[in-house]
Amino acid sequence: MKKRLSIFLLFITLTALRAVSFGQDKPSEEPQVEAKEQAKPTSESIYEEFEELIKVVKELQDKYVDEIQLNTILINAYRGMLSGLDPYSQYFSPEELEDLKIETEGEFEGLGIEVIIKDGLLIVITPLLDSPAFKAGILVGDRIIKIDGESTENMSIREAIKKLRGKLGTKITLTVVHEGDTAPVDITIERAKIYVNSIRGARIADDAYKIGYLAVSNFQENTAKDMDTAIQYLLKKGMKSLILDLRFNPGGLLNAAVDMADKFLEKGIIVSTRGRDKTQNYIYHARKKGTYPNFPMVVLVNNGSASASEIVAGALKDHKRGLLLGVKTFGKGSVQSLIPVGDGKAALKLTTARYYTPSGVCIHEKGIEPDITVPLTFAEIKALHEHLATLNIESKMNEVREKDAAPKGPVEEKGKPKYEDSQLERAIDILKGIEVYAKGIHTH
C-alpha cells in the first residue's frame, strides 16, 4: 500500500492541538489546476549553490567563536529555510516530533494558546477553551510583547515556543496588548495539565422551541464521532434546530472537518485542495449515507474560528445549509503536510496546498464573512470570555477522566447561564423565527 503523507490544518501551537493524522482517505476526483511553467535549474547551477552552502558551513566550523557541531548548523539551517517561507512551515527535531505525537493524544501540559508570528509580532490566534491561558484572560488577537519581561521583538516562533513552554506548575508572565487597546497588561499564567475535548458541550438551549446547542472546540481524530453522539443525544431530547458554535475554534485535522461537514450535507463539494504537486489536488464530496435530518441551523463564528473550522463554515454557507452569524473568521486557507526526514526520526511540517470552499474561493488571509454580522464590543468580548471560562462542562469531563472513567455521553448544562451571550441569543431568535414561519405556512 502506498504510503500517504499526513495532511493537517494547524497553527504553530503551544498545546496538543497540533494533532496529526497518520493516513487519510483518498478523495473521489482531482480538480484541474493550471501550473505555470518555470525554468528548471541546471545540474551546474544546483552544484554551484550547494558549493556556496558548503563554504558557509566550513567557515562556521572553522571561525565561529565557539566550537559548533555540524548537526547543530544543519538543524539551524533547516529552521531558517522553513521560517522564510510562511508562518506555518516548521522543522521538528526527533525530540520535538516525539512531543508532537504525545500531545496529539489529547492530554498534555502547557498554557493552551495558539500563536503565530505576523508582521514581526507574536500574535495569539486563540486560547483553547478552558485552558490556563483562557482562564487567565488571554484573548483572541492579543499581541504578546514580552515574555517574563523579555521583549518578543524580532523573536522567532521557535524561540517564543521554547520560552513559553515549561514544567507543570511553573508560572510565566506575559505582557500583552489586547486587540483594540493600547495599554499593555501583565498576565501571569500557571502551566497545567490540559485535556483537549473536541465537543465542549451539548444541550437544549430553548425548551419551548427545542433548539439544540453544540460547541466544537477543535478538530481531532474522534471529533466527528463525538459530534454524532452529541447530535443523537440532542435528537432524543426532541431537537428541531441546531446552533453549531465554532467560535474560538482554531482548527485541526482536515479529514475531521470534512467528516463533520459531510454529516450535514447530502451531496456536493465540501472542500478542495490545490498544490503545486498534483498529489495535493483533491476534491472532497459529501455522501448521502449518514446525513442528519435537514433541521435549520445557525453557525456561530468569530475571528478565532480558523482553518478546519473555516472549512465547515464555508461548506455550510456555500450550500446554504446553515446561516453564519458573528464576525469574519480568521482566514487560514493553507494545508500543512507532515513529511518524515532523517530516517523518519525528524519531520517537516510544510505548507503543500491551499484549500478552496465549494464556490471555489480561497479564504487564505481573507476569512469568511458571516451571513449575519453581530459584532461585540471589547467589553462584551471580555465578558463572553470570562463567562466561557467559568463554564464547568470541560472540567467535569476532566474530573471523570482523572478517575480513569470515560464520560458516557455529552454533559448537559443545568439552568440558564447568568451571562447573556448576544450572538447566541440572536441565533436563538432567528431559529425561533424560522419555526414560527414554518408553522404559519403549514396552517394555510
Q: Nearest CA to 253 among 68, 51, 2, 16?
A: 16
* Catalytic pick among 217, 241, 307, 334: 307
Which DSSP symbol is given to 356? E
CA distances from 200 to 240, 253, 321, 360 (A): 20, 17, 23, 31
**Burial class, 380, CB count within 10 angstroms (exposed 0-12 / middle 13-18 / buried 19+):** middle
Catalytic status, residue 131: no
130, 206, 262, 318: the catalytic one is 318
Q: 62 an active-site residue?
A: no
Q: Which residues of 118-156 are buried (b: 16+ CB within 10 A; e: fewer)?
A: eeeebbbbbbbbbbbbbbbbbbbbbbbebbeeeebeebe
* Helix/strand/coil (H/E/C) assignment for every residue in 229-265: HHHHHHHHCCCCEEEEECCCCCCEEHHHHHHHHHHHC
Active site residue 307: yes
Cα separations in angstroms, 151 against 33, 144, 160? 44, 9, 10
What is the enclosing helix (H) or strand (E) of 161? helix 157-164
Query: Which of 89, 332, 334, 337 is the catalytic position?
Result: 332
28 secondary structure, DSSP code: S
Name residue, grid cell 483553547. Answer: 128
C-alpha cell at 211: 433548539
Q: 126: which strand partners?
A: 114
Active site residues: 307, 318, 332
